[in-house]
A and B are shown apart, each in its own frame.
Chain A
Amino acid sequence: MSDSDVEAALRDLSQNIHVPEPPNVTAQVLANINTPRRRNRWLAALVAAVTAFAIAFAVSPAVRAGVQHLLEFAGVEFRTEPPPTVAPPLPSQEVSLDEARKQMPFEIYLPAELGTPDRITVHEGRFVTLHYGNIRLDQFDGTISSTAGKLIYNEGVEQIGDKIWIPYPHVFFYIDRNGQWHDEEPRGTGKTLLWQRGQVTMRLEGDLTEEKALEISES
């Protein structure tokens, strides 16, 4: 008996092994790609974040615990410490509004309150930033589950309806298509409002009052 006989027997065997019917996973896979899942372990949260895009804020454990279980901003993770390895920001590219619209897979929102942006940058297709003087508005693809009420947390982090107000400068981190974290240093007073508009998560940062930020987010 030669090796080729053994090979033939194995190929014959392969036709006769019982393998259960494959499940239909397509719908579930597509849902998992799009839906951030509620996680409590950081590793798992990282996996969920890679789906879309992530911003992370360094906050105290108390704030993190308080905000995280109440809010599910897609791709927004409240962290108590920075990711283990962080690369410089992705190269940004200044583009026209039309070009930005072509590059982003969602409709770019222009708050009436802010008028025309001074300039627009895109970051390797991960997110778009509209710049208005000392204010910037980041937009990226995501979803949020609705929550109601207003809760105030330590360090001034506040939930207003389904928006989050962070009244102090914080580094924000985001993840690229390959799972690499990047960071961006805060600018100015770094006051930030986070909210969701349809499938798009908004991050408004700048020299703002809470009232002004809310006004912009509603315009």
Chain B
Amino acid sequence: MLIGNYKETYASDEALFRTPATRAWMGAAAVAAILFPFVAGDYVLYLANLMAVLALSAVGLNILVGFTGQISLGHAAFMGVGAYATAILASRFGLPFWISIPAGGALATGAGMIVGAPSLRIKGLYLAIATLSAQVIFEWVFTNWTSVTGGIRGLNVAPASIAGFRLDTDERIYFLVLGVTVVHFLLASNLRRSRWGRAFVAVRDRDVAAEIVGVNLFRTKILAFMVSSYYAGIAGGLWVYFTKVVTPETFPLSLSIQFLAIVIVGGLGSIKGTVYGTVFMTLVPEVLKAGTGLARVVWPAAQSYLFPLRDVVFGLLIVVFLIFEPHGLAEVWNRVKRFFSLWPFEK
């Protein structure tokens, strides 16, 4: 427990970053994030952009799964809806990104509203299957509604531009991706503390009790689905300007499962956990790859054993994490932080 952290005004009581230390760290992080593209190479920047987009989408799923306790196996499809809407508006109608991305988010919100409707009646595994059907249906639409979605070949999109300045490299798109992601992370952090966020948690913990204390179950669940797919849709829109191409094969079921894995590994119901989960799921395979690359120098024939072994190691790491810390990386982080806040005075 920190001492001397007095809250003397309502504003300080409501602040998101409460202690001077947190504020200082966040400021340092912001500066580092802004300087980052000027020092990082293409490869690292690409990974950073990729992680930011995935984290944005995953935080949406965390609102649904971690906050509200509903499940979705169709999260990638909502991302696809946002991506396609953005791509169509940008390539066919020539709309700028600051219209097409929110429009993509809006359309995904609508899709989430429809898909979320059965959640009033069904829960758990049954809901998982219902949302799985959404994944299948949307993927089919992307593939077969050729006149609109470009069919199996998908759509190519010109880079985003502001007043003639084209965001066509990883450095330039980074600021757009980062900006949108940070704003949405702050929104999610605040949502959690709002009336609606508390309703989400109430529904998760015990829906009957929530209803008795006056939470409208149907409205809350639908809203969770809408917010969740809105995040996916915005992430899909960013994805379009980031990769400049969208095809039906971009948003498969395996991506939906990857999002679930991110949320679970990171920590259910934890916003910062989503970041850790995304970093873990994206960087660990790359680090393992770099490791096998080094091994190859000493032992060239190693590739046929080591390359496939990487996936095994990655899988084992996830299992080990879940066994030793079921609350995810967020809780690991909290433990580390608690240890150092008392150090060297233990216990």
Mutual binders A and B: no
Chain A contact residues, CB within 8 Å of chain B: none
